[in-house]
Amino acid sequence: MKTYNTDDTHIIKLNENEQDIALETKDIHVWYGTNEAIKGVSLQFEKNKITSLIGPSGCGKSTYLRSLNRMNDQIDGTKVTGDIIYKNTDINSSRVDVYEMRKHIGMVFQRPNPFSKSIYENITFALKRHGQKDKKILDEVVETSLKQAALWDQVKDNLHKSALALSGGQQQRLCIARAIAMKPDILLLDEPASALDPISTSKVEETLINLKEDYTIVIVTHNMQQASRISDYTAFFYMGKVLEYDQTKKIFTRPKIQATEDYVSGHFG
């Protein structure tokens, strides 16, 4: 297979105005034991925008995404270096309260993973663990989160039924509702629609487009149409590096790097 020069990069700096940047990584490296999976990634994520992370299998997209809210901490033998700046704080520092930080930077995984509990309890679980006991507030959060995830109309009469009785697409939107119940600033999604049928996929996509009014979204996707439909910015990963980062329409119509062009036009990956 053809290989590409990973020193050849085109990475835009988004904005001089720091107010518009929700999250920034500076020279992130991730090792699994001796395997360096991420080799110095520096990116900025703009507030209230959707950024897609694309690239061939094994290039490090999920590893990088997981580093953004310290999910790699849970994997033995993993080391992450570099800065992850959120609200002027390096959240990659050992001094950061990771549990608290994840209230602000939430994650939705590839396979819908609702708890084996009711719809209502799925959404209120984390809030209760953080000490919220007021039923009126909990009820309000359930309604708002389900509305934002475009699920309220379908489940409002069955809130105390098991979440596991929902369809796959509904379960994934419940997982999005569960993540936004904590009112994070940033939502990280790792291929949230890859296990879903096309109708559920388009509902999840619509949900994400609506959510960007309130949230900054970073999404890993293998689906090129999805990246071009929903995202404002796209980062092309290759062998642990970002080779190109630009507005999505430029990545898909006028990429500057040959590897990006070959990947988005389906020549490899």
Ligand X SMILES: Nc1ncnc2c1ncn2[C@@H]1O[C@H](COP(=O)(O)OP(=O)(O)OP(=O)(O)O)[C@@H](O)[C@H]1O
Binding site for ligand X (CB under 6 A): 32, 35, 37, 55, 57-63, 75
Chain centre distance of CA 186: 8
Q: Nearest approach, Cβ of 241 to ligand X (angstroms)? A: 12
Query: Residue type for 150, please?
Result: A
Q: Nearest approach, Cβ of 40 to ligand X (angstroms)? A: 15
Count of residues for the chain?
A: 269
Instruction: Output 32 or 125, the one with its CB closest to ligand X.
Output: 32
Instruction: Output 57 or 93, the one with its CB closest to ligand X.
Output: 57
Instruction: Output 21 or 41, the one with its CB closest to ligand X.
Output: 41
Q: How large is the C-alpha radius of gyration of the chain? A: 19
Which among 62, 19, 71 has a CA at the least distance from the CA of 37?
Answer: 62
Instruction: Output 203 or 241, the one with its CB closest to ligand X.
Output: 241
DSSP H or E segment with residue 139: helix 135-148
Q: Nearest approach, Cβ of 79 to ligand X (angstroms)? A: 12
Query: Residue type for 180, please?
Result: I
Q: Nearest approach, Cβ of 233 to ligand X (angstroms)? A: 18
Instruction: Output 63 or 170, the one with its CB closest to ligand X.
Output: 63
Could you tell me what percentage of the chain is helix, strand and coil, using 3-state DSSP and rounding each to the nearest 5? 35, 25, 35
Q: Nearest approach, Cβ of 92 to ligand X (angstroms)? A: 17
| b/e per residue 164-200 (b: at least 16 CB within 10 A) | eebeebbbbbbbbbbbbbbebbbbbbbbbbebbeeeb
Q: Nearest approach, Cβ of 111 to ligand X (angstroms)? A: 12
Instruction: Output 23 or 65, the one with its CB closest to ligand X.
Output: 65
